[in-house]
Amino acid sequence: MSDRISGILTPNITPVDAAGRVDEERLRGYVDWLIDRGVDGLYPNGSTGEFVRFTAEERRRIVEVVVQQADGRVPILAGAAEANVKETIDACETYGAMGVRAVAIVAPFYYRLSAEGVYAYFREIADAVSVDVTLYNIPLFASPIDVGTVIRLASECPRVVGIKDSSGDLPNMMRMIAAIRPMRDDFTFLTGWDAALVPMLIVGADGGTNATSGVVPELTRAIHRSVVAGNIPEAMRLQYQLLPLFDAMISLGEFPEGFRAGARSRGWNLGPGRVPLSESQRDAVSRTQREIDALVAEVADLDESLVLPPETIEKIVQRVMRQLGSA
């Protein structure tokens, strides 16, 4: 029987108070809100949580608070990437002792590594830790994890139990699934690119770690459940509602500022990010906030009457195809 991680896991925003500290009380409330609205898991210390902008001590405390507040209601996939192998292994063991389901480790960042270097990095970690590991491929920010490396690690390392892929590369997801699933039925495939959530689920991904789920968890859950139920037309209808909101949030200022704006649309003021914004950037946030507010209002309640006109759907389809073709 497969024990794959599945469903929608939220890479939650890290709330920050007026003094710039992690707002633990608000984080606990936000965790409850997400779980109450049906997320299948939580992913603290992800890119949306700005993990690189917090100290190692803060990162450990963030995971501890999320694990405590979740209290076994949903599994936790904890981001455990640090600056080097030793510190990453230490973080993995710390989070494993806290009771997380698995850790997620981004490929080395800043220094661009070859495929062989990426393999050696993950192999050393996988051989040393006592907690399950998911690979995190996000070529925008870190050394890419190519298909061959994923297959190699899956075949050699029992502790490597899955991959979170945020490249949006649908053909590569299919190549990985085709090669790995016959030999590792326990291996999890998660997509981190919200714009292709339905296509990724249709080709066999088990779920997603999607920043949009921290804003409209009802919508991303409904998408996943529709695909699981085989109702692809409904899933695509919902995907077309998600796409304009995702585009608006991902394009706003310094990532993940747009998703903080989305959270404000749901009544969650999670404070400022850890990166300073110029006056013009703050003005842009204020202007775009109104657009995001309107988009969130359209989809948050999953009103069945909200169907996009055909001409809008056609434009969105063309945009998706261009994104997939250039991935």
Give strand pairing partners of 136.
Answer: 106, 164
Residue type, 265: S
136 is catalytic: yes
86 is catalytic: no
Q: Give the relative orientation of helices 279-299 and 232-250 as an angle to the nearest 10 degrees.
A: 160
Token pair 């902008």 is at which residue? 53
Tell me if residue 278 falls in helix, strand or coil.
coil
What proportions of the chain, in percent to the nearest 5, are helix, strand and coil?
50, 10, 35
24 with 66: CB under 8 angstroms? Answer: no
The residues, ordered by sequence, that sit 6+ positions from 129 with a Cβ below 8 Å of its Cβ are 89, 92, 93, 96, 103, 159
Q: Is the dihedral of CA 150, 156, 159, 161 positive or negative?
A: positive
CA distance 103 to 68: 16
DSSP 3-state assignment of 109?
A: strand
Catalytic, out of 30, 136, 240, 315: 136
Q: Are strands 160-165 and 133-137 parallel, antiparallel or unpaired?
A: parallel
Match 């304009």 to its residue by tokens.
Answer: 244
Residue type, 127: D
Q: Which of 43, 119, 164, 240 is catalytic?
A: 164
Which residues are catalytically annotated?
Answer: 136, 164
